[in-house]
Structure 1
Amino acid sequence: MNKKMTFEEALTKLSEIVSRMESGNEPLETSLKLFEEGSALAAFCYDKLQNAEQKIKQITEYKETGGDEDA
């Protein structure tokens, strides 16, 4: 997995993997590889969302405490 991948790219790729696996047309070995890649992509997306949530909390708290609006 490319670490410079955006959240949106990772989510699209993860959706494609889920569709392939749900089709039931992939051999076991391929399904295992897809599952491994999908797990890594899900973790990547989760980390991106956690970072975004933390940033939003910091900005919100800063604004609520009277921080500079240009920050």
Structure 2
Amino acid sequence: MSPALSCLLLLFLEGCLGCQHSACHCLGRVFICQESQVVQVPQDIPANATELRFVLTKMRVIPKGAFTGLVDLEK
């Protein structure tokens, strides 16, 4: 495998690491929850996520500190 292809593969895999949630999914480093069954902030958001999207969920409260440890988070 060429070095360039290896680098691209590693970048792709980095964006997918840790995204194993049943009701949410990752698109690169964006963590997306679009399910009405999501009622609280997932505890297993990948540490390298840069953006979170919660659409049509039933979350009522986002607890203080819910995103602690997500140091790459931008949105």
- Report if TM-score (shorter chain) is over 0.5: no
Per the normalisation by structure 2, the TM-score is 0.31
Higher strand share: 2
Per the normalisation by structure 1, the TM-score is 0.32
Higher helix share: 1
Which is higher, the Rg of structure 1 or of structure 2? 1
